[in-house]
Amino acid sequence: MMLKTMGVLLCATLVACVDVMPQKDFNLEKMAGKWWVVGIATNAQWFVKRKAGMKMGTSMMLPTAGGDLDISSAKRNADGSCWRMAEQAKKTDIPGRFTFNSQRWSNENDMRVVAVQYDDFALIHTIKTKHGVTDVLNKLFSRTPEVSADLQKKFMQFSLDTGILSKNIVILPKNGTTTHTHTQMYNIIMAI
């Protein structure tokens, strides 16, 4: 019975993943700049265990000359220190869809920018695979730490539609800022 239930859940997750495509007319250059991570949604166990203590962070997105997307993320920890991570998302044949292998988390990532208004928000859907286990991660990015109630509702509905349980959809509380200097960004990108 348990195996049958797991099979049904896996099929439902895979169906949700297959149907999600990037926004038409995606413009990589307009993704450049600072984004606030204001919402996260996933059923992954790491998130379920940590979501209560999570807060907003920022991401700097820098398009490369080759069409890839360098992403540097940072957030202030409760102890005042700064957590940082950088990835280089490689372009695919589909504009708005990228792939990368995370050395930090040892997983494969298929990332899609599914909705974006470049001066306001971006909704990014990522399918993460590690040791044969697939999880969906949706993130809501905003150019400011504030996001409208309407956009929050759209994010929540999109997350529900992609198989995320309502209890695992979080609009993050504000946090202290961690800045990205040009030198830090250059060093992070060169380390990718």
Per-residue pLDDT, 81: 85
Structure tokens at 121: 């928000």
SS3 content of the chain, % helix, strand, coil (to 5): 30, 40, 30
Please state, in angstroms and rounded to a whole number, the distance separating the CA atoms of residues 5 and 27: 40
Q: State the residue range of the domain holding 69.
A: 28-171
Please state, in angstroms and rounded to a whole number, the distance separating the CA atoms of residues 76 and 41: 20
Q: What are the pLDDT digits (tens) for 86-142?
A: 999 999 999 999 999 988 878 999 999 999 999 999 999 999 999 999 999 999 999
4 inside domain: no
184 inside domain: no
State phi, psi for 150 to the nearest 5 degrees.
Answer: -65, -45
CATH number of domain containing 111: 2.40.128.20
44 inside domain: yes
55 inside domain: yes
